Structure 1
Amino acid sequence: MINVITELSKYVILTLMIVYTFHCFYMVWRQDEEEKRELLHQQLTMIFFIDFTAFLVIYLKSMDFRVILFYIEMMIFFAAIQILYRIIYQNASLLLLNNMCMLLSVGFIMLCRLSLPSATKQLLIVAAGSAVSLVIPVMIRKMKFLKDLTWAYAGIGIVLLAAVLVLASTSYGAKLSLMGIQPSEVIKITFVFFMASLLCTKVDFRKVVLATIVAVIHVGILVLSRDLGSAVIFFVTYLVLIYVATRNPSYLFLGLGGGCVGSVIAYHLFGHVRQRVSAWKDPMAVYQNEGYQIVQSLFAIGTGGWFGMGLCQGSPEKIPVVKNDFIFSAICEELGGIFAICLILVCTSFFLMIVTIALKIRNPFYKLIALGLGTEYAFQVFLTIGGATKFIPMTGVTLPLVSYGGSSVMCTILMLAIIQGLYILREDEDEQIETQRKETIERRGKRATPERKRNRQTP
């Protein structure tokens, strides 16, 4: 009976995920606010049934009562964050909030299936990050001096990265964390704020040089620390913001050329880089060593097929570091390739929403922040999924909101809170423009009224 429930559950979860994904894109084209609200409520219902079905299967397979307790705690958290956002920020983007809850749900399902203690720890970190994030939007609205802290952002980033390089111990071939915290995740935010603050006013060659110097220092320290994934994310974000601020394609091409040269130099200087490239080129040739991880990932993806093995039916634990770098492979194995494609589309919807918000914001400082944070999010998703599927060499970054990792999930939630603040700012700008338009019409109407009276009185 349990096997029947497990087999049916994967089709129920898959169907709900497909419909949820369709709603993410369908709402972009709809203008009817009442219909949007109804679709948002339907999305919450689908998240609830996906979680209920998945955790029911995990409990039936494990018969561990702690799974039920975790499920209750998780649902309380989701209910709290949905209610609080609706009370505190009535102009917030509920689709952005729903997508965050969906990605967190997928992560909690897989973490609970792989390691319940890790899932419990992740939930505590997510709850703490969400509590902090509730004050971020109002800070974005009220703290107008943020654009004036240009060199404070640069200094914080460089000092923290240098501390990691000097003091951190090596883990999986790279220096990543201090006292259990990965500063590069926080510096993703400060780096975007630095670039936006420097480039939000008139951009000349001097500012481009200053931005390049600071970016080279950030990326250089990360390369020396062998945190290659973060180094690539910082570099791509730098290129995007320079191009958007200057509209000069020559800077983009020069940057890409410099990045290619830097990659070749890193390949020859660092054995760590050569190992990852070797595992990417032919993982079966080095299966017993550096290729083992990617081979197991490909086996898991292939085993899952289109519809997956079903929760608790696969063997994702055979993939090293599956909770962090290769959780996408575990999702493919147990929930299926179609579910994984829907997950990618939800992440794509996330990115497109951020870009849409950025394009509608008139303040150049906030516009660059939105584009920078959106670029970091999208490229991190690309690096994680690309590495797990052997599309690119593995870079060792996590899938935002889904993978296990306290610093990563905390900072991603804070990034999304900043985006919510920018979305609310955009709504405020629209309301202000509409108010000014109505006042202008009223003033014109008042001036026109005496003129019409005089015209009637003239014989």
Structure 2
Amino acid sequence: MVNLIVELSKYLNIVLIAMYTYLAFRVLGYTDKKRQERTYVKMKAILFTFHFICYLILFISTKNLKIAFLYGMQLLAIILVFTLYQWVYINLSKPILHNMLFLLTIGYVMLTRLSYDKAVKQFVIASVSLIICLVIPLLIDKLKALSHLGWLYGGSGIVLLATVLFLGVENYGATNWIKIAGFTFQPSEFVKILFVFSIASLLAKKTNFKHIVYITILAAIHVLILVLEKDLGGALIFFVTYLIMLFVATSQPLYLFSGLAAGSVASFFAYKLFSHVRVRVAAWRDPWSLIDREGYQVSQSLFAIGTGGWFGMGLLKGLPTSIPVVDSDFIFSAISEEMGGFFAFCLILILISCFLMFINIAMKLKDTFYKLIALGISVMYAFQVFLSIGGVIKFIPSTGVTLPLISYGGSSILSSLIMFSVIQGLYVLSQDRNDAIEKRKRKSKKQTENATQ
């Protein structure tokens, strides 16, 4: 009976995520407020239904009451987030809020399946982070006064990265973690946000050649420290983010092409200098010939994706734990194996829809500082998704990058939620200003009508 329920649930989950994906894109085209609200209700219902079905399968398969308790706590937290965020911010972007919580829910489900203890830890960190992030949109309007502190943001980021360089601990070949009182965290996850604010502030001031040289040196120091820490995935994210922000701020293709050329040369030297880079490239080129050594992780990932097929094996029916670091870097493989290729494809579309909404918000902002912040976060988020999924499916060499809001990791989940909250704050700010403009227009029109009477 349990096997039958699991088998039926995997098809139902595919239908649910397909419906959610359709609504997530469709709602963006609606202009009627009532129609939008009806769609949001449907999206919310799908989220809760998916959450319930997955935890029901996990509970009846394991008979573990702790899973039922964890489900109840997650359900309460999701309801509170929906309520609090929409109560505090009348003009918030509901599509971003719904997508953020849906991605978190998928992460909760997969982590509970992989490791109950890690799922609990992730849930606690995410819940605390959501409470902290509740105030971030309120602070966005105040950040305009801090838009002249670009060098301070950049300097603080460099100090944090340098601290890790000298005092950090090594993890999976990269020295990018700090351990304090038994807790480990990854400062580069938070430096990413400081970096975006720094570059946005400096480029918003002026874009003459001399100033750009100074900014490029600042960005290069960030990237160089990450390379020395062997965090090449992080270095790539910083590099690409800066390059796109610079190109948009200056509209100079020369900077873009020069940056790409410099990045290509740097990649060549990184391959020659770092043995773990050569190992990852070798594993990417032909994992099968190295399946018992360097290619084991990628090979197991591809086996998992292939085994799952289009419809998946069903929760607890696959062998995702055979993949090293499956709960963080390779969680997409676990999702593909047990949820199926259709589910994984819809997940990619939801991740893309978030990026499109981020970019749309950036395009609508008038202030250069805010526009560049939104652009930088959008690029950083999108490139992280690309590196994470690309490495898992062997499209590119693995870089050890987590999938935002889904992969296990306290630093990753907090920084991702902060980025979503900053974007949310920028959206609220733009909506509030649009409302103020419309209010002034109506007031002016009314005064004109009264004067003519």
> TM-score normalized by structure 1?
0.96
Whether 2:340 is the aligned partner of 1:336: answer yes
Whether 2:364 is the aligned partner of 1:394: answer no
Tell me what 2:140 maps to. Answer: 140
Tell me what 2:162 maps to. Answer: 162
- 1:3: how far off? 0.3
Instruction: State how 1:202-213 maps to structure 2 within 5 Å.
Output: 202-213=206-217
Whether 2:361 is the aligned partner of 1:357: answer yes
Tell me what 1:111 maps to. Answer: 111
| AA at the equivalent of 2:29 | W
- 1:93: how far off? 0.9
For residues 181 and 195 of structure 1, the distance between their equivalents in structure 2, rounded to whole angstroms, comes to: 24
Tell me what 1:384 maps to. Answer: 388
Match of 1:425 among 423, 426, 429: 429
- 1:152: how far off? 1.0
Q: 1:216-263 deviations in whole A, cap 9, x for unaligned? A: 100000001000111000001001100110011110000000000000
For residues 393 and 195 of structure 1, the distance between their equivalents in structure 2, rounded to whole angstroms, comes to: 28
| AA at the equivalent of 1:351 | F
Tell me what 1:299 maps to. Answer: 303
| AA at the equivalent of 1:64 | N
- 1:445: how far off? 3.2
Pairwise CA RMSD = 1.0
- 1:307: how far off? 0.4
- Aligned residue for 1:178, secondary structure, equals strand
- 1:340: how far off? 0.2
For residues 341 and 402 of structure 1, the distance between their equivalents in structure 2, rounded to whole angstroms, comes to: 15
- Aligned residue for 1:290, secondary structure, equals coil
Tell me what 1:284 maps to. Answer: 288
| AA at the equivalent of 2:332 | F
- 1:376: how far off? 0.7
Instruction: State how 1:81-92 maps to structure 2 within 5 Å.
Output: 81-92=81-92
Match of 2:272 among 268, 279, 288: 268
Which deviates further from its counterpart, 395-404 or 85-94?
85-94
For residues 158 and 202 of structure 1, the distance between their equivalents in structure 2, rounded to whole angstroms, comes to: 22
Q: 1:42-86 deviations in whole A, cap 9, x for unaligned? A: 111000110111111111111111110110011011011111011
| AA at the equivalent of 2:415 | C
| AA at the equivalent of 1:28 | L
| AA at the equivalent of 1:200 | A
Q: 1:403-451 deviations in whole A, cap 9, x for unaligned? A: 00000001110111111110100101211221232233234434544xx
Instruction: State how 1:6-45 maps to structure 2 within 5 Å.
Output: 6-45=6-45
Match of 1:445 among 432, 445, 449: 449
Alignment gaps of 5+ in structure 2: none
Moved over 6 A (4+): none
- Aligned residue for 1:200, secondary structure, equals helix
Q: 1:378-407 deviations in whole A, cap 9, x for unaligned? A: 110000000000000000010000000000
Tell me what 1:452 maps to. Answer: none
Whether 2:195 is the aligned partner of 1:216: answer no
- Aligned residue for 2:241, secondary structure, equals helix
Tell me what 2:176 maps to. Answer: 176
Instruction: State how 1:60-71 maps to structure 2 within 5 Å.
Output: 60-71=60-71
Q: Which has the larger radius of gyration?
A: 1
Tell me what 1:244 maps to. Answer: 248
For residues 226 and 143 of structure 2, the distance between their equivalents in structure 1, rounded to whole angstroms, comes to: 30
Tell me what 1:454 maps to. Answer: none
How much identity, in percent, do the aligned residues show? 49
